Every structure is written in structure tokens, then in C-alpha cells.
Amino acid sequence: MGPLLFNVQQSAVGTEESVAWQIKVKHWLMAHGVQFPVPVGGAAQYAAIRAKWEQTPAGRAWRRKLDALGAQPDVVGEPWVKQERAAFAEMEAWREREGIAEPPL
């Protein structure tokens, strides 16, 4: 089920019909207990770094923002991806300032 959840949240499919389908699926999943946002691809390798970053004021603010956005039933695709990329970029800048090595792939 993980890949389906990730695709519903992330895919920037483009057509109105496809986006409507994504939203319909997300509504159904949420009605059946799935919590959004779901973990982003590559999250496992960054989990420890992200956990540290989310203990900072900036990281906590991004976590709240992403959780609120992900919990909105009609937010899928590009709006989600845009915010997640911005959060990741801020985390990466913090990681570099702190001298934390990038995790191995």
C-alpha cells in the first residue's frame, strides 16, 4: 500500500481528471484511517537527520506546516511536492551549516 499512498500524495499528474481521481482516492484513504502526509521517498536514509532538524524551531515549524497541508483532503500533487521540496532544501541548508554529513545512498 505504501507506493499507492505515496503516489496519491506526490504525483503531479497534470490533467483535471487525474487530479480528481487522486483527490477521490485520498478522501477514501483518509476515511479509512490513513494519515497524511505519508513518508516521502528516500525518507529512510534521512530519518535520523530529519528527526534532529525537526527538533529545531525551523524544523518544528516545517513539520507543522507539512502536517497541516497533508491533512487537507484536497491537497495532492504539485502543492504538496512544492512544500516538501522547500522543507527539504531548508533541512539540507541546516545540515550543511551544522556540518552533518549527507547520508549514504
Residue 105 in any domain: the answer is: no
Residue 20, domain extent: 2-98
**25 pLDDT exceeds 80?**
yes
Residue 74 in any domain: the answer is: yes
pTM (2 decimals)? 0.74
| Over residues 31-48, mean pLDDT | 78
Other C-beta atoms lying within 10 Å of the C-beta of residue 65: 13
Listed in sequence order, the residues at least 6 apart from 27 whose beta carbon sits closer than 8 Å to its beta carbon are 73
Residue 14 in any domain: the answer is: yes
pLDDT digits (tens, 9 = 90+) for 85-97: 899 999 999 999 9
Selection from 82, 104, 80, 100 nearest residue 91 by Cα: 100
Residue 103 in any domain: the answer is: no
| Over residues 7-22, mean pLDDT | 70
- Domains identified in the chain, total number: 1
